[in-house]
Amino acid sequence: MSQAIVVGSDHAGFALKEELKRHLQHRGLPVEDLGTHSEESVDYPVFAHAVARAIECGRAGRGVLVCGTGLGVSMAANRHPGVRAALAWDENTARLSRAHNDANVLALGGRSLDHGLARRILDVWLDTPFEGGRHARRVALIEPDGATR
């Protein structure tokens, strides 16, 4: 994974984003933080769109988004072509999001996950390859034009 992993959050996800950023750096991975940079109230779609645009244009291969539940950022990010943001709440959903869905954005809930579990989810998500095969056909069907990016 040569490209930087882009990360973003709203205020509710700020503390967890900071923890995950440190964890990614500890793993030796390049990280680009697209904000927010404090716990001051902000609008989650702004940061979800910033991360999704980085994936959409090819500047980054993967992204991590955090809001209170992970739901809002995943909804906003998935509005972008070629972005497959997956909300994961345990290691199994993280693994399946990569193996079967080729998720390129991981969405997490800053108010619903403890930091230890979130780090484990992130590790599984990073380390799980896409299985391809029958799943590649299904992933291609996610895009309205049937083509993955």
86 burial via Cβ count (<10 Å: 0-12, 13-18, 19+): buried
Measured in residues, the chain has a length of 149
Active-site residue set: 67, 100
Question: What does 61-86 look like in DSSP terms, one character per residue?
Answer: SEEEEEESSSHHHHHHHTTSTT--EE
Structure tokens, 31: 């990280």
Q: Strand 85-87 and strand 105-109: pairing?
A: parallel
